[in-house]
């Protein structure tokens, strides 16, 4: 069955503000199809990650998949990884403030402080429980998506609202 592009929920829809429920394992065919659909949806929207609440489902599941695009020209390239029932195990003391946007809050960017490096656990699609260390941009994506499954969006973490800017102004500034 061919993957399909799903509708991305927008800020204001209640699912984005609720703590998501754990995914039951092993994955069903429908859950595997959902992961494929989320990847297709994220790529079409030029995102670097997407969480289940962003497609209307309150599940502890998200995709991390950076690659260079018009939205993130300097992103590293990484094959999409589905992170099921993820846990943030440890984090650095050091935080880095950088730009973020969100597919559920189109057209806006803001500066968000995040941990520079993190240690995480998650279940992979094949059912293995993995533990990994992430840093830099990939750690930022994880934390952004992890917020989504905990009922938060990046604008909750912006410390100075004067940093908000529209996507066109952000692109001008970055070019």
Answer whether 36's CB lies under 8 Å from 50's CB. Answer: no
Per the domain annotation, does 113 fall within a domain?
Answer: yes
| Tens-digit pLDDT profile for residues 31-43 | 999 999 999 999 9
Q: Looking at the domain assignment, is residue 7 inside a domain? A: no
Query: Which helix or strand (DSSP H or E) is residue 165 part of?
Result: strand 165-166
- Determine the pLDDT at residue 2: 85
23 in any annotated domain = yes
Half-sphere exposure of 72 (CA within 13 A, CB side): 23
| Residues designated as active site | 145
Does any domain span residue 160? yes
Q: Are 47 and 62 in contact (CB under 8 A)?
A: no
pTM score, whole prediction: 0.95
Residue 136 belongs to domain spanning: 14-174
Asked if residue 5 is part of any domain, the answer here is no
Can you list the positions of beta strands (E) in 28-147?
49-51, 61-64, 81-91, 95-102, 105-115, 117-123, 129-135
Phi and psi of 171, rounded to 5°? -60, -40
What does the pLDDT read at residue 72?
80
**What does the pLDDT read at residue 115?**
98
Cα(64)–Cα(59) distance, rounded to whole angstroms? 15
Question: Does the residue 86 lie in any domain?
Answer: yes
Does residue 68 lie in a domain region? Answer: yes
Within a domain: residue 6? no
> Which CATH number is 33's domain given?
3.90.45.10
Count: domains in the chain: 1
Q: What is the pLDDT of residue 173?
A: 87
- Confidence (pLDDT) at 149: 98
């Amino acid at each position: 069955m061919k993957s399909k592009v799903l509708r991305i929920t927008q800020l204001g829809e209640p699912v984005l503000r609720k703590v998501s429920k754990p995914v039951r394992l092993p994955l069903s065919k429908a859950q595997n199809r959902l992961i494929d659909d989320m990847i297709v949806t994220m790529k079409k929207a030029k995102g670097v990650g997407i969480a289940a609440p962003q497609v209307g489902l309150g599940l502890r599941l998200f995709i991390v998949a950076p690659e260079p695009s018009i939205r993130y020209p300097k992103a590293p390239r990484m094959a999409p990884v589905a992170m099921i029932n993820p846990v943030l195990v440890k984090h650095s003391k050091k935080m880095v403030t950088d730009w973020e946007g969100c597919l559920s809050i189109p057209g806006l960017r803001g500066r968000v402080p995040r941990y520079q490096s993190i240690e995480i656990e998650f279940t992979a699609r094949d059912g293995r429980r993995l533990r990994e260390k992430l840093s830099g941009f990939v750690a930022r994506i994880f934390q952004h998506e992890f917020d989504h499954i905990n009922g938060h969006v990046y604008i909750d973490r912006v410390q100075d609202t004067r940093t908000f800017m529209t996507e066109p102004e952000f692109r001008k500034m970055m070019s």
